[in-house]
Amino acid sequence: MSDENRVLLVGLGNPGEKYRETRHNLGWMAVEKLATELSLAAAGRRFEGRFGEGRAHGLRVGWLLPETYMNLAGNAVGAAARFFKLSPEQVIVFHDDLDLEAGRIRIKRGGGHGGHNGLRSIQQVLGSADFVRVRLGIGRPPAGVEPAHYVLSPFNSAERNSLHPVLDRLPAALLFILKGDLPGAMNSVYNSPGPSSAVGASAIS
């Protein structure tokens, strides 16, 4: 039986300094931000990744940064989910999204993987797509630039400056997600203080 008072936050990215500041590691950055904001302790390396946990908003909240590389992220998520007996609905995945304009956030439960290798791997291992996804837009690459090269390249200076308003909106949104209120999460993203041009909210689908 699953522990209904526990959730797992997963930040998708690739391990190593080479990839740390790249667009494909935006999900990793998001969960690092949340772990710091919520004072969720780091427990070290576990479940094929960096793992920590603590209490927040009345729940036991674990966080996981898979170090398996993106296409095998499901191995790490699956190991943690099996250990804690979590259902897919108790897993919240933060990831970069090419199909959203840079700075936009969309929050949804379920759906396809959209070609994202990390999501594909998680769906395959969990046997379900019914986890929450926090999609963090990075936009499409410029003409002539291959998507694979684009996502594995570092943010430029303008993009780095715009990251802070995006990440700052996530703690408030997470509170609503933990309550099961995804529309409330999107409203909190849209109505958070800060330059409206830095982040746009998209409808939940």
Per-position pLDDT tens, the chain of length 205 = 456 789 999 999 999 889 989 999 999 999 999 999 999 988 789 999 999 999 988 899 999 999 998 999 999 999 999 999 999 999 999 999 998 988 889 999 988 877 788 999 999 999 999 999 999 999 989 999 999 999 999 998 888 888 888 899 999 999 999 998 998 998 888 765 443 333 333 333 2
Domains and CATH numbers, the chain: 6-191 (3.40.50.1470)
Task: Say what the pLDDT of residue 191 is.
Answer: 61
Residue pair 90/2 in contact (Cβ under 8 Å)? The answer is yes
Phi, psi of 106 (to 5 degrees): -130, 135
Which candidate in 24, 95, 116, 164 is catalytic? 24
Residue pair 88/130 in contact (Cβ under 8 Å)? The answer is yes
The reply to whether 164 belongs to the active site is no
Distance, CA of 18 to CA of 3 (rounded, Å): 37
Residue among 83, 93, 79 at smallest CA distance from 34 = 93
Instruction: Print burial letters for 171-184: b (CB count within 10 Å at least 16), e (below 16).
Output: bbbbbbbbeeebeb
Q: Is the dihedral of CA 155, 146, 65, 130 positive or negative?
A: positive
> For the whole prediction, is pTM greater than 0.85?
yes
For the chain, the C-alpha Rg in angstroms (whole number) is 16
Task: Say what the pLDDT of residue 198 is.
Answer: 37
Listed in sequence order, the residues at least 6 apart from 159 whose beta carbon sits closer than 8 Å to its beta carbon are 23, 102
Quote the tokens at residue 109.
Answer: 């439960």
Task: Say what the pLDDT of residue 192 is.
Answer: 54
Task: Say what the pLDDT of residue 158 is.
Answer: 84
One-letter amino acid identity for 158? A
Task: Say what the pLDDT of residue 72 is.
Answer: 95
Task: Say what the pLDDT of residue 195 is.
Answer: 37
